[in-house]
C-alpha cells in the first residue's frame, strides 16, 4: 500500500511539475506594463547557456531563473537601469546582448573587423607570392635563351661585344 502511495505521489509530481515550470517561463503578471518591461529587459540580456539567444528566446533553466529574477525586481519597484546594472554586476558585460564600448569590450566590438583586415592582408600576400612564382616559371624568350647560352659558353652575354 505504501508503495502504491509513493508511486501516485511520484506520478503526480511528474505530471504537474512541468506545468509549474512552464508557467514560470512566461510572464504571468496581470500588469501589462510590467509584462512589457519584462519582455523588453529579457530581450536585452544574453542567455549565458545558449550565448546566441536572448533570455526571452531561451528555454534554458538559467534563462527561466533570470526572467523570474527580473519579474521579482520589477515587482520590487526597481527601474530598468537598476535591473540591468544588477545583472551586469552579477554576470559581467557579457550578459548584455549589446555590451557597452569599454576598454574591456574593445576586442568584442572591433575583433571581427580586425580579423577581416588580417584576412585581407594574408590574401594580398598570398596573391603576390603566386604572381611572383608565375613570373618565375614563365618560359624564356629567344633573347634570354641566347644570352644564357652565351654566359654558359664563357662570354658576357652582352650584345655589345
* pLDDT tens, residue by residue, 99-139: 888 888 788 788 889 999 999 999 999 999 998 887 777 78
Residues 89 and 143 in one domain: no
* Band (33; pLDDT cuts 50, 70, 90): confident
Cα separation values, 136 from 52, 57, 140, 150, Å: 49, 58, 10, 21
Please indicate, yes or no, whether residues 17 and 76 belong to a single structural domain of this protein: yes
Q: Do 63 and 93 sit in the same domain of this protein?
A: yes
Give the CATH number for residue 73.
1.10.8.640
Domain enclosing residue 74, as ranges: 2-100
- On whether the CB atoms of residues 54 and 44 are closer than 8 A, the answer is yes
Q: Name the pLDDT band for 21 (thresholds 50, 70, 90).
A: very low
Q: Are residues 58 and 19 in the same domain?
A: yes
Decide if pLDDT at 158 tops 50.
yes
47 found inside a domain: yes
Number of domains in the chain: 2
pTM score, two decimals? 0.51
Helix (H, G, I), strand (E, B) or coil at 29: coil
Question: Is the pLDDT confidence value at 63 over 80?
Answer: yes
Amino acid at each position: 500500500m505504501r508503495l502504491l502511495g509513493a508511486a501516485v505521489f511520484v506520478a503526480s509530481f511528474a505530471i504537474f511539475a512541468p506545468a509549474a515550470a512552464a508557467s514560470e517561463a512566461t510572464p504571468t503578471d496581470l500588469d501589462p506594463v510590467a509584462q512589457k518591461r519584462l519582455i523588453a529587459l529579457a530581450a536585452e540580456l544574453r542567455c549565458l547557456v545558449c550565448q546566441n539567444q536572448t533570455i526571452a528566446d531561451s528555454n534554458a533553466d538559467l534563462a527561466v531563473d533570470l526572467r523570474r529574477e527580473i519579474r521579482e525586481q520589477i515587482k520590487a519597484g526597481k527601474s530598468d537601469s537598476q535591473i540591468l546594472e544588477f545583472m551586469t554586476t552579477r554576470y559581467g558585460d557579457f550578459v548584455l546582448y549589446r555590451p557597452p564600448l569599454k576598454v574591456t569590450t574593445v576586442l568584442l566590438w572591433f575583433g571581427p573587423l580586425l580579423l577581416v583586415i588580417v584576412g585581407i592582408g594574408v590574401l594580398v600576400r598570398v596573391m603576390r607570392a603566386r604572381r611572383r612564382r608565375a613570373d618565375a616559371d614563365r618560359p624564356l624568350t629567344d633573347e634570354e635563351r641566347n644570352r644564357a647560352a652565351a654566359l654558359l659558353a664563357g662570354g658576357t652575354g652582352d650584345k655589345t661585344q
